[in-house]
Amino acid sequence: MALALGIDVSLFYFFLFNPLIAFVLLIPLSFNGLGPKEATAVFFFGLIGVSSELSLSMSLIFHLLVVLTSLPGGLLWWRERALAPPMKPGQSGQEFSPPAR
């Protein structure tokens, strides 16, 4: 993705920065980590000379890619949940078994 944006950075820096950027996602400051994650990407990639605009673009495109690739799983989960029989009051989800097909 970085190459598509014209960012010529060694793969080493991605292996170094991405865990640090992902660590920021653990801090519950924003919805889905948007904002702090981008600021962290701009900071770290700025240390090696990547412009703020390109760093921000790369971070947002990566986030969009993650969301889009997660949608099929979310839709399958939603579909299975819609097909599940309603639970009785006091029943936990532990006893649930998916409907037979």
Tens-digit pLDDT profile for residues 82-96 = 887 777 776 665 555
CA–CA separation, 31 vs 29, rounded Å?
Answer: 7
Tens-digit pLDDT profile for residues 51-83 = 999 999 999 999 999 999 999 998 998 888 888
Summary mean pLDDT of the chain? 85
CA–CA separation, 84 vs 87, rounded Å?
Answer: 9
Domain ranges of the chain: 1-72
Terminal alpha carbon distance of the chain = 41
Statement: the pTM of the whole predicted model exceeds 0.85: no
